[in-house]
Amino acid sequence: MSDLSITAANVVVVSGNTSTGTTGAAITAGQAIYRDPVDKLWRPAKANSATPAAQAASAISLNDAAVGQPVTAMTSGTYTVGATVTVGGVYVLSGATAGGLAPITDLTTGWYTQIALIGLTSTTAKLVLATAGVAVP
């Protein structure tokens, strides 16, 4: 399979918690993002990043934002993904694309495993963001 194909305009909170901040890279709504512990800026996360902080997302972006612009980040809850998901399907942070979300079956060598969401309906998901901090051997 491949990363979810997300329509940014369709990413919407159903219920949950959000946080706001500033971007350190261009971000698109629906991307898995992390807040850099050094400069406190939000960036797309990537499961096989060489940067440890980037290996686990801490939120989903709710809006598009250029570098240095404000972003609203969903940190917990249920949301409309902006893509078709499988009911009960488990999705992980992708190593193929920064900020991407992939079916768990796409996990491959070198990706740091982070369960990102679980499909509730064909369009909504529960944000999980559970990580073990280990890479697939």
Residue 32 in any domain: the answer is: yes
Under the banding of pLDDT at 50, 70 and 90, the label for residue 100 is very high
Residues 77/17, Cβ–Cβ less than 8 Å: yes
Please give the model's pTM, rounded to 2 decimal places: 0.96
Please write the tens of the pLDDT for every residue from 28-68: 999 999 999 999 999 999 999 999 999 999 999 999 999 99
Domain assignment present for residue 85? The answer is: yes
pLDDT over 90 at 1, yes or no: no
Mean pLDDT of 127-135: 94
Q: Is residue 3 part of a domain?
A: no
User: Residue 20's domain spans which residues?
Assistant: 8-135
41 belongs to a structural domain: yes
In a domain, 2, yes or no: no
Arithmetic mean of pLDDT over the chain: 97
Does residue 69 surpass a pLDDT of 80?
yes
- Asked if residue 68 is part of any domain, the answer here is yes
When pLDDT is averaged across residues 81-98 and rounded to a whole number, the result is: 98
63 inside domain: yes
| Domains contained in the chain, number | 1
- CATH for 127: 2.40.300
pLDDT at 132: 87
Torsion on CA atoms 14, 19, 22, 27, rounded to nearest 10? -30
Q: Is the dihedral of CA 54, 60, 64, 70 positive or negative?
A: negative
